Amino acid sequence: MKLAILAALCISFAFTAKAETLEIVTEHLPPFNYLDDGAPKGIGTEVVQAVLKETGRAAPIQFLPWARSYQMALQTPGTLIYSILRTPERENKFAWIGKIAPYGVSLYQLVQDNAPDLSSLEDARLLRIGVYFGDAKAEFLQANGFTNLSSVENDRLNLRKLLLKRIDLMIIDDAVINELIELEGVDPSKIRRALPIQELSGYAYMAFQKDTNPKLVEEFRRGLEKVKETGVFDAILEEYYLIN
């Protein structure tokens, strides 16, 4: 009987330890998160690294396609994901840690004579819009009844499709589009912001899988608060010219 109880306790401990293993996932999305010669960089990355330092935790940051990172963060306890938008559709799917970077979303289009003028989201309903798998912006459009969505793995592909006129619009963060334009060697005068999307603009977050040990979640919340209280957070934003 004692051996059976001991075995059960060992199994229980093993499952608990596994559930509490810290994994950190993100995507390649400069300037928020990206690899530079193999080293994790970006606004969100630096905030996460500062929180890790504050908590005394250590874990490698995995750069994966967003759809894969998102599924891991939905399914695997102990998984921390960033930079993720906090939307009504996602509110109960994660244990939210806090804001890590300002985030502004807009629809972008080619500059051309026949480009439609958009005064509201409704004006885009009949246009082809480029999105990518598992993204909050795609979820937002779907929740608003949009069916004319063209999904790819990342926004770099959407920019290429926009230039080839395979889509009419792409929905993207205002800081990210500038990075992509430079990366792809595109003339900035060929792309213009057609419509800001206020419902998706605000801040990107870091969040844990919702069944993660509450002690770990609270530890990271306190760590992020400390990073903000000590001025480290503002210093990171200043480095990337996001605050004055």
Q: Looking at per-residue confidence, does 194 or 18 come out higher?
A: 194
CA distance 168 to 62: 33
- pLDDT bucket at 2, cuts 50 / 70 / 90: very low
CA distance 34 to 53: 19
- Lookup result for tokens 């939210």: 96
CATH 3.40.190.10 domain residues, the chain:
2-102+203-239, 105-200
Tell me if the bond preceding 83 is cis, omega within 30° of 0: yes
SS3 240: coil
Give residue-wise pLDDT tens across range 30-89: 999 999 999 999 999 999 999 999 999 999 999 999 999 999 999 999 999 999 999 998
SS3 233: helix
Assign domain 2-102+203-239 one CATH number from 3.40.50.280, 3.40.1400.10, 3.40.718.10, 3.40.190.10: 3.40.190.10
> Percent of the chain having pLDDT more than 70?
90
CA distance 100 to 84: 9
Average pLDDT of the residues in 89-112: 96
CA distance 199 to 190: 26
Q: Looking at per-residue confidence, does 3 or 32 come out higher?
A: 32
27 burial (CB, 10 Å; 0-12 / 13-18 / 19+) is buried
HEC sequence for 133-178:
CCCHHHHHHHHCCCCCEEEECCHHHHHHHHHCCCCCEEEEEHHHHH
Answer whether 176's CB lies under 8 Å from 31's CB: yes
For residue 150, is pLDDT > 60? yes
| pTM of the complete model | 0.80
CA distance 233 to 98: 12
Give residue-wise pLDDT tens across range 198-226: 999 999 999 999 999 999 999 999 999 99
CATH top-level class for 105-200?
A: alpha beta
CA distance 91 to 94: 7
- pLDDT bucket at 134, cuts 50 / 70 / 90: confident
Q: Are strands 34-36 and 39-41 parallel, antiparallel or unpaired?
A: antiparallel
Answer whether 105's CB lies under 8 Å from 174's CB: yes
Nearest CA to 128 out of 113, 111, 110, 104 is that of: 110
Average pLDDT of the residues in 99-128: 95
